[in-house]
Structure 1
C-alpha cells in the first residue's frame, strides 16, 4: 500500500508538472517536450562543471587549463608539482607557442637544489628612486598580489591574501574598493585610487588629498597606484553588484547598502596627461611615496603623450602597470571581457617600445598583469621588459578558487568572491594564507630556475632574444622580431 501511495504521488506530481509545462508560455522547449524538457535546463545548469571535471582535456579549459590549476594547487600545498612522461600540450600544431632558449653556459654554478624553496627574489630597480621620492624602495619580491577589492572578494579572502603576501615578502594591492581592516594583516600595501576615489573621497565623491594623506599614514602603504582602466573591463569602471554591498562595505566605500556600485569610467581629478602628471607629483610630494598608473592598452595616443611629457624630465610616473585584456574581474559585460583592450603581450610591447625609444625605461618600473601567475607567461612578460609581475586569479586559486565563474552572482561556492556568510565560513584564513605564501614562493623558485637555464641570475634579465614564438614545427621567430623591439 505504501509503495502504491508513493507511486501515485509521483505520478500526480509528474502530471501536474506536465500540465504546467503545456500551459506556460515562457519556454518553447517545455511546451513541446513537457517534463523531459527540464533535462535541457539541468544540463545547461551543470554543464560548466561537467566540462570542467569530466569532458575537457588537461590543456583545453579557459581561463586556466586543468594543468595550470593543478600546478597552482600543488604548489600552494607544497605537494609534488612535477609532471611525468612529457608535455601533453599540442606543441606540433599550436600557433604562437613560447619556447625559452636555454644556454649551455651561463652565470655561476646555479643557486640552490630544486628542493630549496625560500630563495629571495627582489626586484632589480628602486621604485621611485629615479624621481627622488622620499620613501623610494626596492620591492622585496618580483611577484606580488594584484588589485582585488574587498567587496569583490570576501573579508576572509582578503585577510588570507594579506597574510600570505606578508609571509612571502610580497606586497598586496588593495584594489579600488578602499583600504579595509582586512588589508592590515602585515603585508606591505599598494593603495589603488580608482575613478570613484574610495577611501580618499569627500562627501560629493571627489578626490580628497588630505584624506589620502591620513589614510596612507595609518597603514603600511609603500606606493600609490592610480587606476586608469582594468584589462577585463577597460573604459568601463569598476562594478560591484548590489548583492555584494553589505553594510560594512557600504561604510568603507561611502555608498548605499544593497545597490549596484558602478564606478565612473573616467577620473574627475584630471582630464588629460598634463593634469594627470600634475596630480601624480602632488600626491608624491604630499605622501613621499612612489606613484604610478595601472592601465589596459587600447588607443595609443595616451601613451605617446605620456612619453612626450615625461621626456621633459620635470614630471613623471614612478611605475606603469600594464594589464592585459585577458585579465580577471568580479563582474563585467561580456563584450568588455572578450573584445576591449589588447592582450598583455601586444599591449605591454607597445608601451615598453615607446619608453625605450625615448630613453626613459630606466626612469620607471614596469609591472605586468593578466594571467602572469603561470610560470611560462611570467617568463615572457619578463623577457618583454617587465620588472615585476602581479598575480590575481592565480592567487585566488591558491585560496581554493575552483574556477566556478560565479564571481558576479555572490554565490562563490568556496567563499572567495562572495559576501554570503554561508559560503565565507568555509574559507579557513590561516590555512589559506599559508597556501598563498607557498604559491608565491614556488612561482619565484620556478622563475629563478628558468633564469638559470637561460644563463642569467634573475628573471628580469631574460631578454627578447631568449624566447622564441613558434608556429607548430614549421616556423620560429624571436620575441624581438615578433613585437618589433630594437637594441
Structure 2
C-alpha cells in the first residue's frame, strides 16, 4: 500500500471511503438537482441516498462483521462468493490455485459448499489422492467423534476430546475478539481450544470453552519473577476446571536433555492433579525425536499425547524467510512419529494429534490414516481479526459441525464406524508415472516392536532414516553421537548417563542410568540427593 494511503488510513480509515463518497454524492445531488432546479432528484442522488442508507444500516447491525467493518463495499464479498461457482475462474483464480478457504467461510456461515460441476482438481496429476470407498457403507449414528486422552497411571483426569479441535494463534498476533470467538465456538461445539504460547487470559476464560494450556519456551503463566519455572503458579493455573490438558511446547529452558524432559512431563502431570500432559513439536533432525523415544523407554515415562506440527504451521509472528524452509512438513513428521512409536511398542500409550490447515474432511481422514488420533485446525488469523464476537462464535461452531458432518459421511462411505479406523490402505495416491497405489504401498507402516528387533540385530532396519539416526540418538543429550563413535554391532549407547532430574515428589535428585549393550535401560537408580 502506498505511503500516502497508509497515512490517510491512520486518520480516516480507508474502508469508510465508500460510505463517505455516498454521503458526498447525496449532498452534491441535493444541491444541484433539487429543489433549486424545480425538478425531482436525479438518478445519482437516489443512488447516493440508497447506498448511504445501506452503509448506515451496515454500521448499526451486528449480524455480519464484514458489513459492519466495511460498510457498502462489504456486500461485494457476498456478490463475488455467489458468482464464483459459475464464473470464478474468469474473475479471480481457479480453485486448485490456492487453499480453498472460501469453502471454509461458506461452511462457517451455514451455506452449502457443494459444487455443481464436479471435482476441479486434476485427478491425473502425480500426487493426487482420494479415498477408497466400500461397496457396503456403514450407518453411524451421530458425527460427534471423540478420542480419550490420558492412559498413564498418574493421569487421573483423562479427557474425551473431539477429533477436530482448534490450534489457536498466540494472543499477540491475534486480537481479544478472536480469542473470545474461538473459545465461545469451542464451548458451543464441544471441542478444545489450544491457548497458544502465552498466558491464559480473561478472553480465554470468558465463555468457558475447554482449554489445552500450552506452556511455551518462556514458561509464560507459570514463571517466577526471575523467569524460572514456578511449580506453585503452574499448579494454580492447571487446577482450573476449564484447563483439560497441558501441552509443553519444546525449545524449553527448564530441561536440557531428553530424559529431563520426560521427568518434567511427569512432574507437570502431578502438579496438575493428574491431567493429561503432552508435548508439541515440529520434527527437525530425526535423532532428536529418536532421543525422546529412547528417553521414554529409559524413564518408563511417556507423555499422554504428542502434537505434531509441520513446517507449514507458524505463529503469525515468525519471519517468513525463517518459517518457510524450517522443519519437516506435517504429513512426513506425522508419519515418522507414528511409525517410531509403533516400532518400539509405545503407540498404544501415547495419543497423537497434528496441527495444520485442515480445510476439508479428506484432510482429516488422510492425517488419521497416517497415524493421527485427532487434528487441530489452525485458524487463519487474517480472517478472524476485528470480528463481532457473537456472530463469529456461531460461525466457528458451525464450521466445526459441518466439517464433522462431512467426516461422518466419509467414515460411512469407507465402511467404518470411527475416523480412527482409517488406515493407509484407505487412501489411494497417483504416482508421477500415472500408476496408482494405496498409501500402505507408498509409505509402508512399521510392525509393532520392529525397531527393538532391529537394534538387537534380528531384522534389518525398517528405513534408511532409522538406520542412520537411531544409533546416534542418546537420552543424555539432544546432540547426536558422532558417526565414528557408533559401533557396528550396537546402536550407540556405551556409557551410563548421569544428570539432574525431578522426582515424583518434586524434589531434585541425581540419577544414574546404567545402559546395557542393547541400549535399553533396565532400571533407574537414585544415587544421591542434591543439596
Q: For residues 292-303 of structure 1, what are the structure 2 equivalents within 5 Å? A: 292-303=278-289
Contact 1:161 1:433 in 2 (8 A): yes
| Counterpart position of 2:155 | 133
Quote how far apart the aligned CAs of 1:482 are: 2.2
Contact 1:91 1:472 in 2 (8 A): no
Q: Separation in 2 of the partners of 1:336 and 1:52?
A: 33
| Counterpart position of 2:199 | 178
Contact 1:372 1:381 in 2 (8 A): no
Cα RMSD after superposing both structures = 2.2
Contact 2:411 2:418 in 1 (8 A): yes
The structure with the larger Rg is 2
Secondary structure of 1:446's match?
helix
Q: Separation in 2 of the partners of 1:193 and 1:52?
A: 44
Please point out which of 257, 264, 273 is paired with 1:279. Answer: 264
Q: Separation in 2 of the partners of 1:329 and 1:105?
A: 43
Name the CA shift for 1:471/1:84 in 2 (closer, same or farther; >3 Å). farther
Please point out which of 131, 140, 150 is paired with 1:111. Answer: 140
Quote how far apart the aligned CAs of 1:56 are: 2.4
Q: Separation in 1 of the partners of 2:154 and 2:270?
A: 10
Contact 1:328 1:392 in 2 (8 A): no
Contact 2:122 2:128 in 1 (8 A): no
Q: Separation in 2 of the partners of 1:472 and 1:454?
A: 25
Q: Separation in 2 of the partners of 1:208 and 1:483?
A: 44
Quote how far apart the aligned CAs of 1:477 are: 2.2
Please point out which of 103, 118, 122 is paired with 1:86. Answer: 118
Q: Separation in 1 of the partners of 2:390 and 2:301?
A: 43
Contact 1:480 1:486 in 2 (8 A): no
Quote how far apart the aligned CAs of 1:385 are: 1.1
Q: Separation in 2 of the partners of 1:312 and 1:322?
A: 22
Name the CA shift for 1:321/1:456 in 2 (closer, same or farther; >3 Å). same
Contact 2:176 2:203 in 1 (8 A): yes
- Unaligned residue ranges in structure 2 (runs of 5+): 1-76, 78-87, 448-531
- Unaligned residue ranges in structure 1 (runs of 5+): 1-48, 113-117, 229-265, 403-414, 417-423
| Counterpart position of 2:126 | 95
Q: For residues 463-482 of structure 1, what are the structure 2 equivalents within 5 Å? A: 463-471=423-431, 474-482=434-442
Q: For residues 69-468 of structure 1, what are the structure 2 equivalents within 5 Å? A: 69-92=101-124, 94-106=125-137, 108=138, 110-111=139-140, 119-123=143-147, 126-139=148-161, 141-184=162-205, 185-228=207-250, 266-287=251-272, 288-312=274-298, 314-393=300-379, 396=381, 401-402=382-383, 416=385, 424=386, 427-468=387-428
Quote how far apart the aligned CAs of 1:52 are: 11
Q: Deviations over 1:200-220 (max 9, x none)?
A: 111122221111111122351
Contact 2:373 2:420 in 1 (8 A): yes
TM-score normalised by length of structure 1: 0.70
Q: Deviations over 1:300-324 (max 9, x none)?
A: 1122122222234621111000011
Q: Separation in 2 of the partners of 1:182 and 1:53?
A: 42
Secondary structure of 2:348's match?
helix
| Counterpart position of 1:22 | none
Secondary structure of 2:160's match?
coil
Secondary structure of 2:157's match?
coil
Contact 2:268 2:277 in 1 (8 A): yes
Q: Separation in 1 of the partners of 2:222 and 2:216?
A: 10
Quote how far apart the aligned CAs of 1:380 are: 0.8
Q: Which has the higher contact order (CA 8 A, sep 6+)?
A: 1
TM-score normalised by length of structure 2: 0.65
Quote how far apart the aligned CAs of 1:186 are: 1.4
